Amino acid sequence: MVASKVAQRREARIASIVEAAWSLAHEQGIQVFSLRDLATEVGVQQPSLYTYFDSKNALYDAMFADGNQQLLETLDSVDLPDDAEAALKVCLRVVADFAVEDPERYSLLFSRVIPGFEPSAESYAVAQEVLGHVVVAADAAGVTNQGDIDCLVAVTAGLIDSQMSNEPGGDRWLQHLDRMIDLLVDDATNRSVR
Amino acid sequence: MVASKVAQRREARIASIVEAAWSLAHEQGIQVFSLRDLATEVGVQQPSLYTYFDSKNALYDAMFADGNQQLLETLDSVDLPDDAEAALKVCLRVVADFAVEDPERYSLLFSRVIPGFEPSAESYAVAQEVLGHVVVAADAAGVTNQGDIDCLVAVTAGLIDSQMSNEPGGDRWLQHLDRMIDLLVDDATNRSVR
DNA sequence: ATCATTACCTATCACTGATAGGAAGTCAAG
DNA sequence: CTTGACTTCCTATCAGTGATAGGTAATGAT
């Protein structure tokens, strides 16, 4: 069952709109770019966007899925070292770099800056897939307990968030990422063997 | 130099507006409550609010200072145990409870959810005073290195944020707060004596 | 009692996301 | 090739937002 010509065209159009939306988000901010500006960028009138998205939040949902897909591909493209803990470090470092690289994307994916926006089940599934990568890496490094994984994720997120909020572009907080991972992994493995 | 009658009345009026704003923020969300609704709540027409605040962001600034002042008073009112590490734990637990207690306040104080809002120097100073409390407690517990303090703060923030984002009202993440503090304090002290 | 200041009003602005309803274009079946 | 359904896009318009202009009444210090 091939995608019909119409469906293909529609899909491509949606992708181009999402791309233009990212561009505007970078220029003006993810929360404040207007659908009129987006329509202009795409060469169309504002109400025409509603042919593709039921609401601005539906557009955000597509961007959310797209952003997580980007992260997924980034994670897949990196080749991990054999040592499991080193691999975990690389994995989380990739996430941190991905976040720092694009603050607006970070806002949409990891902060709750859009009032009323909740990712759809489909988009959320992509985000879960990303989390799955981290869980696999943590598991391989001996961090199998759910609570320990939660801490690992939360600590990484905390460092990323502090970094971006207080010193965007610097490394005052993220320089400690590897050490924090060491601490957590050691603690987790120690407690699991006792 | 006593405050003039006019200044007193004005100050009280501002306080009552800020209070009403918090109330609306709780009902509708910190980002989306409208100045018209706020004006109605206060018994006034919307443009009249501009007598007290130059913009909605100026109102947010007053709320930001007010919220940090609340946290400051909460921290001051708690009496800490003699043991320095225990005191640090209590201190950070109080911050966590304060955050969880009021998500909208948390959003304004610790997330960046209001586009274009930057706290004024005066309001930021109150936030710095809060941070000062934590730094003092950390210092007493032997966490004197700036990097270690940064980690302590970031980790606490990470746990709070994960908790509120993923399981508001629960304790899946915050149950690990004390253990994380233990880890960080131990690591910090160990590295400082080597 | 006067008068400047403060507080509040009405009217209106530009802009936002969203909806209604119609016209043109596109594609596939007969 | 023509027909007819579907898709895409348009104009016009809506209610709601933060913000500004300009005028009026209340207030308090002199």
Q: What is the mean pLDDT of residues B89-112?
A: 98
| CB-defined contacts A:B, below 8 A | 85
Mean pLDDT within B45-71: 98
Show which positions of strand C are touched by protein (CB under 7 A). Answer: 5-11, 15-21, 26-28
Write the DSSP assignment of B103-155 as a string of letters.
HHHHHHHHS--STT----HHHHHHHHHHHHHHHHHHHHTT--SHHHHHHHHHH
| pLDDT of amino acid B7 | 84
Nearest chain B residue to A172 by CA distance is B147
- At what angle are helices B146-166 and B177-193 packed, to 10 degrees? 170
Yes or no: say if B123 and B61 are a contact pair by the CB < 8 Å rule: yes
Overall average pLDDT of the A31-42 stretch: 98
Is the pLDDT score of A167 beyond 70? yes
pLDDT at B191: 87
> Fold match between A1-53 and A64-193?
no
**Domain ranges (residues) in chain A:** 1-53, 64-193
pLDDT of res. A5: 76
Residues on chain A touching B113 (C-beta within 8 angstroms) = 111-113
Q: How confident is the model at residue A1 (pLDDT cuts 50, 70, 90)?
A: very low
Which candidate, B4, B114, B109, places its Cα nearest to that of B55? B114
pLDDT for A4 beyond 80? no
Report CA(A156)–C1'(D30) in Å, whole number: 64
Which of B112, B151, B184 shows the shortest C-beta gap to A165? B112
* A48 CA to C24 C1' distance (Å): 14
CATH (one of 1.10.357.10, 1.10.3720.10, 3.40.50.2000, 3.40.50.300) for B64-193? 1.10.357.10
Average pLDDT on A78-101 reads 98
Superfamily of domain A1-53: Homeodomain-like (1.10.10.60)
Give mean pLDDT, residues B132-143: 97
Distance, CA of B119 to CA of A162 (rounded, Å): 17
Q: How many CB atoms lie within 10 A of CB A122?
A: 11
Taking CB atoms and an 8 Å cutoff, what residues of chain B touch A162? Answer: 150, 153-154, 157
Tell me: pLDDT of B1 over 80: no
